[in-house]
Amino acid sequence: MLTEKELKEYSDNARASYLPHISIDCVVFGFHEGMLKVLLLHMKNENGWYLPGGFVLKDEPIELSANRILKERTGLDEIFLQQFHVFGDPQRSKDHFEMYKDMLPRAENWFTDRFLTIGYYALVDFCDAIPQPDIFSADCIWRDLDDLPELKLDHALILKTALDTLRLQLNYQPIGYNLMPKEFTMPELQKLYETILDKKLDRRNFQRRMLGFGILKRSEKPRKGGAHKAPYLYSFDLENYQAALTEGFKGGW
Amino acid sequence: MLTEKELKEYSDNARASYLPHISIDCVVFGFHEGMLKVLLLHMKNENGWYLPGGFVLKDEPIELSANRILKERTGLDEIFLQQFHVFGDPQRSKDHFEMYKDMLPRAENWFTDRFLTIGYYALVDFCDAIPQPDIFSADCIWRDLDDLPELKLDHALILKTALDTLRLQLNYQPIGYNLMPKEFTMPELQKLYETILDKKLDRRNFQRRMLGFGILKRSEKPRKGGAHKAPYLYSFDLENYQAALTEGFKGGW
DNA sequence: ACAAAAGTGTTTGATATACACCCATGT
DNA sequence: ACATGGGTGTATATCAAACACTTTTGT
């Protein structure tokens, strides 16, 4: 539980270090055992959950802020982070006004100012990320996307928007590099797509299409040990992957 | 030419009214005589040009801010405005620091603070818009996209990003409602697409595809008076158009 | 031997591209 | 009459969807 004194201290520190009225919220997607997960924080002194977020240092490029926040929460660095929307409704943080209203006068509490938040989403390998709570939180854990708890503020909207954006991106950008382990099988990659899109895809057509993008390299050795026929292992061809990221897939016109 | 006194006054007013460190810049595209135009401002006391921009009132939703700014610059209201990116490099406004450095101390000049800017783009009917300069500007005029003057700050980057976004959107969203007059011919609409994409399209295939989207209504009467065969007039089917805006065109997966 | 996972086709329909022809109108 | 802009149609290639068969491996 946060004391008034601590809150005041955090508030003063934040005011001194960060740009006012601007925050960053990260929707960190992970993938594990066929389930899409998202990283959520649970506050010490209340019930709801939050997306991991943070603020922009007074002289810090926002892309760095987003990366810093992601790193602080997952230990991961150099991850594809996609800015997707700014949420700027003045009413979006009224939960906060309520929550802190008896602790510290509004004027003294930096955190109850109005904030615009810049939404970023990240796709990370579930296994590499080590969730770390921040100073306000009791927990930082992966939650299943289809079993979400109640989210505070407008974080449900932010999450939904991120997911919609991700699904759109899927149509003209490669996805998976940060979500999959170094090597993976085609069915595993397919499972990722199916999970994100929440629909079944045809095994054979998926494979053909995926290979057609030219962003995969097939390893010599198939995965051994498993039951049934041994699947081939693939990894992303980083060069082509990056190119596809910038250029996109299907032209259209 | 802006006097120091005026600047101080504007600065103090702005500080009192707007959120600090946050601005909005609008890339307003218009279409006229087969040319894509963009609305630019020319400052009184310097050479470069700017995108029309503004600030967010302390209690104003950012979508309203963008609309307000657009309205102040063009007189147009209820226009499709698309938020497309936040530009948050701390160095992005160093032009401003230079420009004002001899006029007013940094601490007193609100406009030389660091600003993140939220980029919006709008597509408007060239004929309906009446360019209005703001208090800092001598001129607000349409400039041809392929004959751009030097842009200040990072506004060239913002403009380029807007154009890239627009071209991407073209692949899965209808475009044109705000750029075209109420009624237009198919060749006219095609010209718009060709101009945005900067490439020639096949007349017949364009028509088939466009009609396939089901967002156009054909008027009874063809356009009379012109030379050669009278073309049909079309208008957008607003209902389907809106639906296509939210749902997008070609599914992908 | 067989069930289940995975690799590799083939057939079919839709969609895009390229191209040809016809119609109307002012000079 | 003819050049030009504009409407409509058709053959072809390309791609996506649906579906079948074969191979491997643990039980």
CA distance A184 to A196: 17
**Each residue's pLDDT tens digit, A102-147:** 788 888 899 999 999 999 999 998 888 999 998 888 899 999 998 9
**Would the CB atoms of B19 and A252 count as touching at under 8 Å?**
no
**Domain definitions of chain A by residue range:** 4-169, 186-247
Query: Which has more confidence, A6 or B160?
Result: B160
**Domain range A4-169, CATH architecture:** Alpha-Beta Complex (3.90)
Nearest chain B CA: its distance from A65 CA (Å): 10
Strand partners, B57: B18
Mean pLDDT for all residues in chain A: 90
Chain A residues inside the 8 Å CB shell of B172: 168, 171, 252
- pLDDT score of A249 more than 80: no
CA distance A236 to A220: 14
Give the length of chain B.
253
- pLDDT score of A23 more than 90: yes
Residue closest to B161 by CA, chosen among B193, B130, B121? B121
A232 touches strand C (CB under 7 A): yes
Cα A63 off chain centre by? 14
Q: For the domain with range B184-247, which CATH number is right: 1.10.240.10, 3.40.50.2300, 3.30.70.20, 1.10.10.10?
A: 1.10.10.10
Q: Which contiguous run of DSSP H or E holds residue B141?
A: strand B137-144
CA distance B52 to B72: 10
Q: What is the CATH number of domain A186-247?
A: 1.10.10.10
CA distance B70 to B79: 9
pLDDT of residue B80: 85
Nearest chain B CA: its distance from A171 CA (Å): 5
Asked if residues A90 and B60 have their Cβ atoms less than 8 Å apart, the reply is yes
Least reliable range by pLDDT among A99-103, A195-199, B154-158: A99-103
Nearest chain B CA: its distance from A193 CA (Å): 9
CA distance A218 to A183: 9
CA distance B198 to A199: 37
**Would the CB atoms of A253 and B168 count as touching at under 8 Å?**
no
Percent of chain A residues topping a pLDDT of 70: 97
Q: Which contiguous run of DSSP H or E holds residue B50?
A: strand B49-50
Q: Which nucleotides of D are covered by protein (CB under 7 A)?
A: 3-10, 16-20, 23-27
pLDDT of residue A174: 87
- pLDDT score of A247 more than 90: no
CA distance B169 to B123: 12
Q: What are phi and psi of B202, to 5 degrees?
A: -75, 125
Distance A224 CA to D24 C1' (A): 11
> Alpha-carbon torsion A177, A183, A188, A190, what sign?
positive
Nearest chain B CA: its distance from A103 CA (Å): 23
Asked if residues B76 and B70 have their Cβ atoms less than 8 Å apart, the reply is yes
Chain B residues inside the 8 Å CB shell of A169: none
**Each residue's pLDDT tens digit, A226-237:** 778 899 999 999
Percent of chain A residues topping a pLDDT of 90: 64
Q: In terms of C-beta density within 10 A (0-12 exposed, 13-18 middle, 19 or more buried), how is residue A60 classed?
A: buried
The two beta strands, B18-32 and B116-125, are parallel
pLDDT of residue B1: 64
Q: Which of A62, A110, A112, A116 to mutate to test the interface with B (most CBs of B within 10 A)?
A: A116
pLDDT of residue B33: 85
pLDDT of residue A14: 95
Distance A204 CA to D22 C1' (A): 14
Strand partners, B32: B35
Cα A1 off chain centre by? 27
Helices A203-212, A186-197: inter-axial angle, 10-degree rounding: 100
pLDDT of residue B246: 81
Query: What is the mean pLDDT of each successive set of 10 residues along chain B, which is 253 residues long?
Result: 85 95 96 91 85 96 96 90 96 81 86 95 92 90 94 95 90 88 93 92 94 90 75 93 82 67
pLDDT of residue A252: 67
Q: In terms of C-beta density within 10 A (0-12 exposed, 13-18 middle, 19 or more buried), how is residue B170 classed?
A: middle
Strand partners, A18: A57
Residues 215-244 of chain B sitting with CB below 7 angstroms of strand D: 226-229, 231-232
User: What average pLDDT does range A152-171 have in this prediction?
Assistant: 92
Residues 178-217 of chain B sitting with CB below 7 angstroms of strand C: 202, 204-205, 208-209, 212
CA distance B187 to B140: 30
Residue nearest to nucleotide D5 (CA to C1'): B228
3-state secondary structure chain A: CCCHHHHHHHHHHHHHHEEEEEEEEEEEEEEECCEEEEEEEEECCCCCEECCEEEEECCCCHHHHHHHHHHHHHCCCCCCEEEEEEECCHHHHHHHHHHHCCCCCHHHCHHHCCCEEEEEEEEEECCCCCCCCCCCEEEEEEEECCCCCCECCCHHHHHHHHHHHHHHHCCCCCCCCCCCCCCECHHHHHHHHHHHHCCCCCHHHHHHHHHHCCCEEEEEEECCCCCCCCCEEEEECHHHHHHHHHHCCCCCC
pLDDT of residue B43: 82
Banded model confidence at residue A200, pLDDT cuts 50, 70, 90? very high
> Which among B21, B22, B170 has CB closest to A253?
B170
Asked if residues B55 and B24 have their Cβ atoms less than 8 Å apart, the reply is yes
Residues 105-134 of chain A sitting with CB below 7 angstroms of strand C: none
- pLDDT score of A251 more than 70: no
Chain B nearest-CA residue for A59: B90
Asked if residues A129 and A30 have their Cβ atoms less than 8 Å apart, the reply is yes
CA distance B105 to B8: 10
Distance A219 CA to D25 C1' (A): 20
pLDDT of residue B168: 85
CA distance B175 to A63: 30
pLDDT of residue A34: 85
**Would the CB atoms of B90 and A114 count as touching at under 8 Å?**
no
**Neighbour-count burial for B57-83, b at 16+ CB within 10 Å, e otherwise:** eeebbbeebbbbbbeebbebeebebbb
A221 touches strand D (CB under 7 A): no
CA distance B90 to B78: 33
Q: Which nucleotides of C are covered by protein (CB under 7 A)?
A: 3-10, 16-20, 23-27
- pLDDT score of A1 more than 70: no
